[in-house]
Structure 1
Amino acid sequence: MVDLHQEFLDTRCFHEARIDRRSADALIGLAAGIAADNTINQQEAEFLKRWIESNMNHLDDPVVNILYRRLADMLSDNLLDRSEAAELLGLLKEFTGLDLSKTTPFQAPTTLPIDYPAPSLAWENRMFMFTGIMAYGPRRECEALVTERGGLIAPSVSKKVHYLVVGTIGNEQWLHTSYGAKIKKAVELREGGSPLAIITEEHWQKSMFG
């Protein structure tokens, strides 16, 4: 699978050793605590980055690699601006599976309702939506690739959406997280007869790059 941004390997946190389960659990709890008030400031972002550097030196899980790399990019100029803070808050919510209207995380499913067999993708005037954490890079860059090929980006899940692309990042160690409201809504629409396909980022990348 294409990893143009080298977010799996090009990070000082990467190591071949297995993640310490307790550190991973602690990171999920820490991220959930930071995101719980629905805001995030620079001090919190800097603390989270330092915590990852100090506590997860033997890191081979791509979820944390992505989180750390995005944090490093956002703080590279020593300023977390408003748009970066909003993006980071969204990333932490997806990372933890935290439903801020409740006091406990979502119960995670063990499988995703991906279309099988995966459909052939068309681009021109087709409506795409992305959910989850993308291995390719920030979601806005994935969306730009679609629009460059004549596709459209949906503002929300609806009957107008043709493809919901589910981010690759996540594995059996991260069943704390839920596949979320977007996929739930997409499943309901699909079961109701809408021509909406739920596809993996891997399939999207293969269709995009060959």
Structure 2
Amino acid sequence: MDSDLRSYFRFTGKGRLEKSINSLLGLLEGIAIDGKVTDGEISMLRMWLADHQDVASRHPYSELVPALVAAVADGALDPDEREDLTWLCQRLRSTEFFDMVTADLQRLHALVGGIAADGRISTEEMRGLSEWLSEHAHLQTCWPYDEISTLTTKALSDGRVDETEQRMLLDFFTEFLAVLDERTIVRPIAFDGPEQSIGALCAVGPEVTFPSKTFCFTGASSKYKRADFEGLVQRLGGETLSGVSTKLHYLVIGAEGNPCWAFACYGRKVEKAVALRRKGVRVVILHENDFHDAVLDAG
């Protein structure tokens, strides 16, 4: 391949082009979600520009790059500039090559990366993120929507984001700062220190149905033995699996012994379910309490 085409090649595939525009759109949403734009967030936009400088003269970047360069030239991004750039991204992207779920997940990855770009996360940013998540509920059960949704709900439960919550959120959100390259997120959400928890892995208020669905159980329960769980599922028309696979719909985590559900207590099943979610498999990670609620609702 000619050397002057090599840098452009990484953006020529329809999927790669679409992803780069979705990522910019998510960054624009994320850095301005609290109505303020910091120097660190402007730096994220400049990083996007630097990553695309070799293709700035080629369509569609020949339209997008000059507009972005002009917008950040003064080290700021006012609401009109943001709206103009957002409008342009939306006109240049399509769902012809990506379904809406894939496109919106790419936006979500970039959005949380943009929120974390300046090294701090405010209550206003989390409220804006909560609104975005509510408007994109079709992403439920797709990595990392449920994890981010749970973290957001917990952080806003008392109406403010304290220092411990901010550290926890940054620990996860900064995993998405590399949205402009192909780095894979290689670890599930697990935090060092006393706040270590897999609570964020579990869906918030999940919709659980039993007929023709598959369930797997991990961890201990003070309420039922494993055979009791399996009997409930079968009585309600579902099927139980002994392990986690692409055939699984729900992984139920037992609640006994540790109120924060320490990750180390559950091991490989949770890790495998998280890995499948990252690959797009729609497996719901379900806390035992929500399972019991679903059983009662099912009658």
TM-score (norm 2): 0.32
Larger radius of gyration: 2
TM-score (norm 1): 0.44
